[in-house]
Structure 1
Amino acid sequence: MHIVIMGCGRVGAMLARGLEKRGHSVAVVDVNPEAFRRLGSDFQGTTVKGVGFDREVLEEAGIRQADGFAAVSSGDNSNILAARVVREGYHVDNVVARIYDQGRAAVYERLGIPTVATVRWTVGQVLRRLLPEGSEPVWRDASGNVHLLQVFVHEGWVGRRIRELSAAAHAPIPFMVRVGKGLVPDSETVFQDGDMIFVGCETDRTSDIETLFATAPARH
C-alpha cells in the first residue's frame, strides 16, 4: 500500500516509520522541512514540502496512487480540509483525520470522514484504520492468552448482522463503535459502513480473524 501522511510532528513521524516497517510505501507532507528530521536517517519514503490540501503537493506525494491518507497535522481546519480534498477530489476512500476538538470530530464522523479525536493512542488508532491487517490488541489478559482486537472490516460485510460476523469468526463481538459512539450490539444489529468492531479471541487466532474480515464474505 502507498500511504500519504500530512504532518510530520511526533504522531506523523511515528506513523510513517510504523507503516514503513510494515512494508508500505510512505510519503510525508509538511510545511516545515525541518520537521522531516523526525523521520530519521533510515527513512526510505518521500518527503514533500507544502500544505496537504494543495493539489500540486498532493500529486507530488503520489496521491493518485495512494491507498490511504492520514491528516495528522496540528491544525483541525487543515486536517479536515485536506481530508475532504483527498476524499472528494481524488476519490481516496481510506482517509482519516486527527481532530483535537472532540465535538467537531463527531460532526465530521457524521459527514463520513473518520476522525481520531484523542491524543492518546493516536498512532495505533490511525494504523488500525489505515491497514486491513496487522492491528494491535486494545486489551490482553495478564497471561497473554486472550486479546480484544479492534478489527478492520471489509465493506463487503456491510448489511450483515453481527451474529453472522461472530459466527464466521467463531468469536464474540462484545463491542463496536458507530459514528464515534460506543455500542453493545445484539445478535440482530446490522453492520453498517464505517462501523468498527471489537472481537474477543485467543491470541493465536489473531491473524485468522484479521484475514477473515479483510476480505468480503463468501456469497451464500
Structure 2
Amino acid sequence: MHVVIMGCGRVGSTLARDLTGRGHSVAVIDQNPEAFRRLDKDFDGKTVTGVGFDRTVLAEAGINRADAFAAVSSGDNSNIIAARVAREIFGVSNVVARIYDSGRAAVYERLGIPTVATVRWAAGRLLRHLDPGETPEIWRDPTSTVAMVHLDVNEGWVGQPLERLEHATGVRTAYITRFGLGAVPTPSTVIQDGDEIYVLVTDDLATAVRRVAAHAPEGHQ
C-alpha cells in the first residue's frame, strides 16, 4: 500500500522506516527539508517539502493513490486539518492524527478521525507502571480512555449467564479463555469454573466493576 506521512520528526521518521521495512510505498512531507535527515540513508520513499495540508503538496506526495495518511507533525491544528483534507477532499479512508491536547482528541474521535493523544497516553502508561493499582490491564486504547482488564470473579458466578455479570457490572466482555483457548462470548455463554474473563472498562468504572464481580450475585446460596 501507499502511505503518506505528514511530519518527519521522531515519530514520522520511525513510522516511515517501519512501513518501508514492511515493503510499503511511503511519502513523507515536512516543511523543513533538514528534517529528512532523520530518515535512513537508504530510504527509498519520496520526500516532499511543504505544508502537509496544501493540496498541491499532498498531490506531489501521491495522496490520490494513497491507502493511508498519518498526520504526526508537532502541531495539533496542522495535523487535524491535514487529516480532514486527506479524508474529505481526497477520500483516503484510513487516516490517523497525533494530537497533544486530549480534549481535542475526544472531539475529533467523535468526528470519525482516529487520534493518538500523545501526552495523555504517555502519562497514563507511566502512571500505570509506577502505580499499577489492583487491576493489571492487558490493553488500553490510544486515547487512554478504555482499558481491557482481567476480572477476578467470585465463584458464585459459576453457572450464571455471562450476560448477567455484564448487566450487574455495566461493562462488556472482550473475550474469555476456557481450557487455555480464547473465545468471543455469545448471548448464550454461561460462566464455567476456571474461565478467565477479560472486560472493557473506563477508569471511572474500574473500582465499582471489581467490587461487583468480587461478590456472589444476588440470590446465590
Normalising by the smaller structure, the TM-score range is 0.5 to 0.7
Q: Percent identity?
A: 67
Q: Are 1:96 and 2:109 counterparts? A: no
**Alpha-carbon distance in 2 for matches of 1:14, 1:120:** 21
In structure 2, the CA distance between the partners of 1:44 and 1:64, relative to structure 1 (3 Å rule), is same
Shift of 1:33: 0.6
Shift of 1:93: 1.3
1:87-145: CA deviation from partner (whole Å, max 9, x where unpaired) = 100111100001111111111111111110115878xxxxxxxxxxxxxxxxxxxxxxx
RMSD over aligned CA atoms reads 3.3
In structure 2, the CA distance between the partners of 1:93 and 1:182, relative to structure 1 (3 Å rule), is farther
Asked whether the equivalents of residues 175 and 182 of structure 1 are also in contact (C-alpha less than 8 Å), the reply is no
Alignment of 1:71-110 (within 5 A): 71-110=71-110
Q: Are 1:170 and 2:183 counterparts? A: yes
**Alpha-carbon distance in 2 for matches of 1:119, 1:103:** 11
Asked whether the equivalents of residues 175 and 183 of structure 1 are also in contact (C-alpha less than 8 Å), the reply is no
Alignment of 1:34-183 (within 5 A): 34-119=34-119, 148=138, 166=175, 170=183, 174-175=199-200
**Alpha-carbon distance in 2 for matches of 1:35, 1:174:** 42
TM-score, reference length from structure 1: 0.58
Asked whether the equivalents of residues 97 and 113 of structure 1 are also in contact (C-alpha less than 8 Å), the reply is yes
Where has structure 1 moved over 4 Å in runs of 4 or more? 119-122, 148-151, 181-184
SS in 1 for 2:47: strand
**Alpha-carbon distance in 2 for matches of 1:48, 1:182:** 44
Q: Provide the residue aligned with 1:5 in structure 2.
A: 5
In structure 2, the CA distance between the partners of 1:43 and 1:120, relative to structure 1 (3 Å rule), is farther
1:40-93: CA deviation from partner (whole Å, max 9, x where unpaired) = 201110000111111111111111111100000001110010001011001111
**Alpha-carbon distance in 1 for matches of 2:19, 2:5:** 10
1:155-206: CA deviation from partner (whole Å, max 9, x where unpaired) = xxxxxxx87x859x636663379xxx9999xxxxxxxxxxxxxxxxxxxxxx
Aligned residues between the structures: 151
**Alpha-carbon distance in 1 for matches of 2:90, 2:46:** 19
SS in 1 for 2:118: coil
**Alpha-carbon distance in 1 for matches of 2:87, 2:60:** 17
Q: Which amino acid in 2 is paired with 1:175?
A: L
In structure 2, the CA distance between the partners of 1:113 and 1:50, relative to structure 1 (3 Å rule), is same
Structure 1: tracts of 5 or more residues without a match:
123-147, 152-161, 185-220
In structure 2, the CA distance between the partners of 1:182 and 1:81, relative to structure 1 (3 Å rule), is farther
In structure 2, the CA distance between the partners of 1:103 and 1:3, relative to structure 1 (3 Å rule), is same
